[in-house]
Amino acid sequence: MSEPQSLTILGATGSIGTSTLDLVGRLPERFVLSSVTAGTNAKALAAIARRHGAQFAAVADPAAYEELKAQLSGSGIACGAGPAALVEAAERPADRVMAAIVGTAGLAPTLAALRRGTTVLLANKECLVSAGDCFMRTAREHEAEVLPVDSEHSAIFQALEGRNRDCVETATLTASGGPFRTASLERLEQVTAAEAVCHPNWSMGAKVSVDSATLMNKGLELIEAHHLFALSAEQLRVLVHPESVVHGLVSYTDGSVLAQLAPPDMRTPIALSLAWPARMTTPVPRLDLARLAKLTFEEPDLVRFPALAHALAALGAGGGAPTVLNAANEVAVAEFLVGRLRFLDIARIVGAVLDRAAASPLTAPAELDDALELDRWARMLTREAIARAPESA
Ligand code: NAD
Ligand code: MG
C-alpha cells in the first residue's frame, strides 16, 4: 500500500474544514494530518487536533493561545497563535494544504503554502479576488499546483481537463439563486441576517451564505475563474440553476457543452481536490435524475441582485478594482450580520466604494503587501461610506 498523504487544513473548524475532516477521518490509512488552524475557537481546534492526530495547531486570535495550550497539554501536539503561527502551519511539511479560511485573512498563509511548492486545495476564493495576479504568479514561480474546491470551479476544471484550450468558447458557472431568488425588491429591503444565512441547497459559513444570497458569491467566483483558468471576462457566464445539480459548463467551438453534475454536497469537490488525479469514494448521496425529473435554468437578475453587477464591473475594470470589491464586501457583510446594515445596503455600499476608488488609478497588487495595503484602504473607505449612508440602520 502507498504511503499516506499528509494534509494541512487552514480553517479546520469551518464548514469546508469540517467536511474535509469528515472525508479524511474515514480513510486514516490514506491521509494523516499535519497542521490545523482556526480563527478563535481554541477548544474546537484542540479537539480536532487530538481526534485526528495533527502535529501542530494554530489559532489566529492571540488571546486564545493559553486556552489552546491548556487544551492540548499532554498531547504532544505543538501549538501557536497569531498571524506568524498561521504562516508556520501553512509552511510545515505537507503534501496538500486545504485553504479554507474565510476572507483575506487567508491570504498570507495560503501564499506561504504556495511558496513551499505545496499543492493548494483552494476554497478561499477571496484570496484570488483580492490578489489573483500575485497568487497565480507565486504558484507558477514555485511550481505549486492549485486545485479548485469551489464546486463550480471543480466542475469547470473537470470539463476543461485534457481538452484543447484553443477550442474553448465560454465557461458557465451556475448559481442556485440563493434564498431570495424569487423575492421582490420590496421584500429584499426587509430581509434579515437570519433569513440570509439559511440557504435552500447548501450548508455553509455565514459570510459565503450572505454572499450567495446577494449573488456577490457568483461575482467573486467569476473573478476566481478568470484567474484559475486564464479565461477572459467575455468568456465567463453565469446561469441561475435553482436545483444546484449542474455546477459548471464549458462550451466548445464545435457546439459541444461539457458539464459536471453532482448533488449539492461540498464533499464531492473536496474529495476531487484531495484525491486528484485519482478519485476517492465519498458517502455523498448519489444523483437520481429520474426522481429529480427536470433541471431548470434562468438568467440572473442584475436589478434585484446588483452585487453581481458590481463584481462584473470590477472584473471588467481589472487593476485594483477586484481587491476593493472584495474588501468592501467583507466589511459590509460583517456589518449586515451584526444588524448594522440592511440587506440591499451591502450592494449599495460596495457600489459606492468602487465608485470612490475608481477616482484613483489602481494597479493590480503585485505582492502580498500591496494587496494588504489596498485591502486596508478599501476597508477604511467602506467604513466611511457606511458612516455616511443615510439608509443604514
Ligand atoms: P466558515 O466561516 O464556516 O469557516 C471559516 C474558517 O476560517 C473557520 O475555521 C474559522 O475559524 C477561520 N477563520 C475565520 N476568520 C479567521 C481569521 N481572521 N483568521 C484565521 N482564520 C479565520 O467558512 P466556510 O463556509 O468554511 O468557507 C471557507 C472558505 O471557503 C470561504 O472563502 C468560502 O467562500 C469558501 N467556500 C465555502 C463553501 C461552503 O460550502 N462552505 C463553498 C465554496 C467555497
Ligand atoms: Mg461556489
Q: Domains plus CATH for the chain? A: 5-148 (3.40.50.720)
What spacing in Å lies between the alpha carbon of 211 and ligand 2's midpoint? 10
Ligand 1: which residue has its CA nearest to atom 9? 11
Q: How far is the CA of 244 from the centre of ligand 2 (A)?
A: 10
Contact (CB, 8 A) for 96 and 73 = no
CA dist., res. 391 & res. 231, Å (int): 38
Which ligand has its closest atom nearest to the C-alpha of 244?
A: 2
List the grid coordinates of 210: 450572505
105 Cβ inside 6 Å of ligand 1: yes
Q: For residue range 226-274, what is the model confidence (pLDDT) as tens digits? A: 999 999 999 999 999 999 999 999 999 999 999 999 999 999 999 999 9
Q: Looking at the predicted structure, is the pLDDT value of residue 199 above 90?
A: no
Q: Check if the beta carbon of residue 221 is closer than 8 Å to that of residue 230.
A: no
- Quick one: cell of 168? 474553448
Q: How high is the mean pLDDT of the chain?
A: 96
Spatial contact of 147 and 277, defined as CB atoms under 8 Å apart: no
pLDDT at 392: 47
124 marked as part of a ligand binding site: yes
Give the integer Cα–Cα distance in Å for 350 and 356: 10
Judged against a pLDDT cut of 60, whether residue 26 lies above it is answered with yes
Cα(222) to ligand 2 centroid in Å equals: 10
41 is known to lie in a ligand binding site: yes
Q: Ligand 1 centroid to 307 CA: how many Å?
A: 20
Residue 359: all three cell numbers together: 477616482
**What residues contact 382, with CB distance under 8 A and at least 6 apart?**
327, 328, 331, 332, 349, 350, 353
Instruction: Answer whether 38 contacts ligand 1 (Cβ < 6 A).
Output: yes
Cα 205 to the center of its chain, rounded Å: 10
Q: CA angle 379-122-223, nearest 5°?
A: 55
For residues 100 and 22, what is the distance between their CA atoms, to the nearest angstrom?
14
C-alpha gyration radius of the chain: 20
User: According to the model, what pLDDT value does residue 164 have?
Assistant: 86
What percent of the chain is predicted at pLDDT more than 70?
99
Kindly identify the ligand whose nearest atom is closest to the C-alpha of 178: 2
Task: State which ligand 1 atom lies nearest to the alpha carbon of 150.
Answer: 43
Q: How far is CA 62 from the centre of its chain?
A: 24
Secondary structure (DSSP) of 203-259: ---HHHHHHHHHTHHHHHHHHHHHHHHT--GGGEEEEE-TT--EEEEEEETTS-EEE
Name the phi and psi angles at 306, rounded to 5.
-65, -20
128 lines ligand 1 (CB under 6 A): no
Residue 278 — left, alpha, or beta (φ > 0 → left; ψ -120 to 50 → alpha)?
Answer: beta
The pick from 9, 15, 212, 265 for probing ligand 1's pocket by mutation, whose C-beta has the most ligand atoms within 8 angstroms, reads 15
Is pTM beyond 0.80? Reply is yes
Spatial distance between the Cα atoms of 36 and 47, rounded to a whole number of angstroms: 11
State phi, psi for 185 to the nearest 5 degrees.
Answer: -60, -35
Binding site annotation covers 351?
no
Ligand 1 atom closest to Cα of residue 61: 19
Mutate to test the pocket of ligand 1, among 16, 35, 222, 228 (most ligand atoms within 8 A of CB): 16
Q: What was the pLDDT predicted at 119? A: 98
Percent of the chain with pLDDT over 90: 94
State if residue 266 touches ligand 1 by the CB under 6 angstroms criterion: yes
pLDDT exceeds 70 at position 190: yes
34 is in an annotated binding site: no
The answer to whether residues 98 and 149 touch, using CB atoms and an 8 Å cutoff, is yes
CA separation, residue 219 to residues 1, 79, 263, 288 (Å): 43, 37, 22, 30
**150 labeled part of a ligand binding site:** yes
- Tell me what pLDDT residue 293 has: 96
Tell how far the Cα of 85 is from the centroid of ligand 1, in angstroms: 18
CA of 125, nearest ligand number: 1
Confidence band for 351, pLDDT divided at 50, 70 and 90 = very high
What is the value of ipTM here, to two decimals?
A: 0.99
- What are the residues facing 6 on neighbouring strands? 32
Q: Which residues are CB-neighbours of 387 under 8 A, at least 6 positions away?
A: none
What pLDDT was estimated at residue 361? 84
